[in-house]
């Protein structure tokens, strides 16, 4: 939850006030001297490098103010002004950062792609909001336009240099849950305390991603924009909320009048029989009151050449793709093909997955609603099981490859005794198997509540083939597990599968807010000239991320992570997998090796 800004205080007075405030609060402590010297050193070094971190007008004033405050403090404390060695040390401070630096995550921009007759030039934005005092009525209409004479008094636009740190948690050692560490060097091992000799030292180098939001300079004139929205993949609560937000921001925020809805996924671009839906604020006014997608959705249809041909033929220059990993892969391919052709087309993705399995993001829209709706199914199963003689309530929830819904629903419920997810192997039979634990629970408390993700235990119900989106087909683990429980013990099994109830419902308040924010920032990203990007929350801040970065693999529950441990504490369930002694030893060796391999998604190589 750390955000960085490249803009600096523009007056000496305010900078000096900040520095003096630090001095007065710390009473001239060593920590305050360090901070002031470090700030002065950074200012000096960036000026020497000619960094774009500071503007030339403000950097000198800021540097002089900070340096003066540091010098004043040193004189008061009687400190010698021989800081060359200290400055050299502070200049190597590893968290130092600047726009375009090695830790700055780059994203594609149309300035580097467009191959038109005229170079792409930034324009003054038409985006405004009445409450911000940036808008004035024009031509006796309700449309409001940017008021240039008031812009200097308003904090409304996001600076292009604003950044958000990608990972906010720095691990001390590999013993910390969820940590990923680099292999320790001999020097590291010689200086480690004895209790840390077997663990790797975690070296954290922060990565910075671009903060989302409206920019003062844009690369599209609203009257020239033809925007298109397409929804792909399965249903998810909140799709219509995102559509409504995108349309409202385009029309009301920027003044775009031509917005098309592509019907039934990517195939709606090129298959016969599909006509675009004309979208406007009036058309989508009540769309968020219903579940599903007003545009229709489907898997497959990703013929990139035909899609791009259709985009260029229709004059579409902004495309918003609402979908999961597969849909984002398609959006990335479309963006790359448009770039290859040198076309002025911005492609922006909005992550849609009820499974919450998108890398790097705090959460995806629809997930909270899914967990909330799952509570109803678990509560019903609990009532049924408690009311029956030796009752067993089995609830199957969504989660093809990740068990986030099952894990969070289990934690939220408090009634669940067993939770099974795809990331954690388990035995059904045997002394350490699931059924044996079910028997124990029936003997002890008279009932048992079991939650299982749809992708769990697929080795027991294997099927072949893939769906239209290329995903492996899943066997139906729920009914199979119920039969195995019935065969093994005397009980009354109640089975509930709320899959389509969860998918098709209206988004709850939390997801509805998230959808509005994501939709607005998707439009801001397109107008800012970015392409091949996706929108999401990172450390509670909305950011722009390059699509390849988030589709490299699915995000999975970490069986060694804190949230899974919390869930185990809640259910009290044992390990349902029985390993041979040799297998355990071999796995331990593999784990030790893995601890010393840095996760490139989280940690950049040490420089």
* Residues taking part in catalysis: 355
Integer Cα distance of 86 and 36 in angstroms: 12
Compute the half-sphere exposure of residue 373: CA atoms within 13 Å on the CB side of its CA. Answer: 26
Q: Alpha helix locations (H) across 425-561?
A: 434-445, 477-488, 499-503, 509-527, 547-550
Q: What phi and psi, each to the nearest 5 degrees, are found at residue 554?
A: -80, 145
How far, CA to CA in Å, does 228 sit from each of 272, 346, 428, 526?
18, 10, 49, 12
Strand order in the sheet with 391-397: 418-420, 447-453, 391-397, 492-496
Asked if residues 20 and 29 have their Cβ atoms less than 8 Å apart, the reply is no
DSSP 3-state of 180: coil
**Long-range contacts at 290-293 (CB < 8 A, ≥ 24 apart):** 290/240, 290/506, 291/235, 291/237, 291/240, 291/504, 291/505, 291/506, 292/235, 292/239, 292/240, 292/504, 293/231, 293/235, 293/239, 293/240, 293/243
According to DSSP, the β-strands at 447-453 and 144-146 are: unpaired
208-211 vs 346-351, strand pairing mode? unpaired
Q: Exposed, middle or buried by CB within 10 Å (0-12, 13-18, 19+), for 174?
A: buried
Distances in whole angstroms, Cα of residue 532 to Cα of each of 110, 130, 321, 528: 10, 31, 10, 13
Question: Quick one: tokens of 381?
Answer: 């199963």
Residue 270 token pair: 């090129």
Q: Using an 8 Å Cβ cutoff, are 362 and 514 in contact?
A: no
Give the angle 590-591-593 at the CA atoms, nearest 5°.
65
């Amino acid at each position: 939850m750390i955000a960085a800004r490249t803009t600096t205080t523009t007056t000496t007075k305010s900078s000096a006030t900040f520095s003096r405030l630090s001095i007065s609060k710390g009473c001239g402590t060593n920590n305050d001297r360090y901070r002031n010297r470090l700030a002065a050193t950074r200012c000096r070094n960036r000026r020497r490098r000619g960094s774009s971190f500071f503007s030339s007008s403000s950097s000198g004033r800021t540097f002089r103010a900070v340096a003066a405050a540091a010098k004043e403090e040193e004189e008061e404390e009687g400190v010698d002004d021989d800081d060359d060695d200290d400055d050299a040390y502070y200049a190597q401070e590893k968290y130092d950062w600047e726009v375009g630096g090695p830790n700055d995550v780059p994203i594609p921009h149309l300035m580097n792609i467009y191959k038109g007759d005229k170079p792409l030039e930034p324009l003054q934005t038409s985006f405004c909001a009445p409450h911000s005092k940036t808008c004035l009525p024009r031509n006796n209409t309700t449309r409001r336009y940017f008021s240039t004479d008031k812009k200097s008094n308003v904090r409304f636009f996001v600076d292009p240099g604003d950044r958000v740190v990608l990972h906010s948690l720095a691990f001390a050692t590999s013993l910390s849950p969820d940590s990923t560490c680099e292999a320790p060097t001999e020097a590291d091992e010689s200086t480690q305390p004895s209790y840390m000799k077997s663990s790797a030292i975690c070296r954290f180098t922060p990565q910075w991603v671009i903060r989302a939001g409206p920019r003062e300079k844009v690369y599209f004139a609203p009257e020239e924009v033809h925007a298109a929205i397409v929804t792909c993949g399965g249903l998810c609560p909140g799709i219509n909320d995102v559509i409504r937000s995108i349309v409202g921001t385009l029309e009301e925020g920027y003044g775009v009048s031509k917005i098309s809805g592509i019907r039934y996924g990517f195939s709606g671009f090129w298959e016969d029989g599909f006509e675009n839906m004309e979208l406007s604020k009036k058309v989508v006014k009540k769309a968020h009151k219903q579940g599903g997608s007003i545009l229709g959705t489907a898997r497959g249809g990703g013929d990139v050449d035909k899609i791009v041909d259709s985009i260029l033929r229709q004059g579409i220059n902004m495309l918003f793709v609402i979908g999961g990993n597969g849909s984002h892969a398609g959006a990335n391919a479309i963006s790359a093909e448009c770039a290859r052709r040198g076309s002025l087309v911005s492609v922006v993705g909005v992550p849609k997955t009820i499974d919450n399995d998108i890398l790097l993001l705090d959460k995806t829209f629809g997930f909270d609603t899914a967990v909330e709706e799952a509570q109803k199914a678990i509560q019903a199963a609990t009532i049924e099981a408690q009311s029956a003689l030796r009752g067993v309530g089995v609830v199957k929830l969504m989660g093809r490859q990740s068990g986030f819904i099952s894990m969070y629903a289990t934690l939220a419920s408090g009634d669940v005794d067993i939770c099974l997810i795809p990331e954690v192997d388990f035995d059904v039979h045997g002394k350490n198997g699931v059924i044996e634990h079910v028997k124990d629970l029936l003997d002890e408390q008279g009932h048992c509540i079991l939650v299982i993700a749809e992708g769990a235990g697929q080795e027991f119900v294997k099927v072949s083939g893939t769906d239209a989106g290329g995903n492996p087909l899943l066997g139906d683990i729920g009914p199979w597990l119920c039969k195995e429980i019935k065969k093994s013990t005397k009980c009354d099994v109640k089975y509930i599968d709320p899959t389509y109830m969860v998918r098709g419902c209206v988004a709850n308040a939390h997801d509805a807010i998230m959808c509005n924010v994501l939709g607005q920032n998707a439009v801001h990203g397109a107008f800012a000239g970015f392409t091949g990007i996706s929108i999401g929350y990172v450390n509670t801040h909305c950011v722009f991320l390059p699509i390849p970065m988030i589709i490299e693999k699915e995000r999975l529950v970490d069986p060694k992570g804190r949230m899974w441990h919390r869930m185990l504490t809640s259910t009290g369930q044992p390990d349902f997998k029985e390993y041979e002694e040799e297998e355990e030893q071999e796995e331990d060796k593999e784990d030790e090796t893995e601890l010393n391999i840095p996760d490139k998604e989280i940690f950049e190589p040490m420089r």
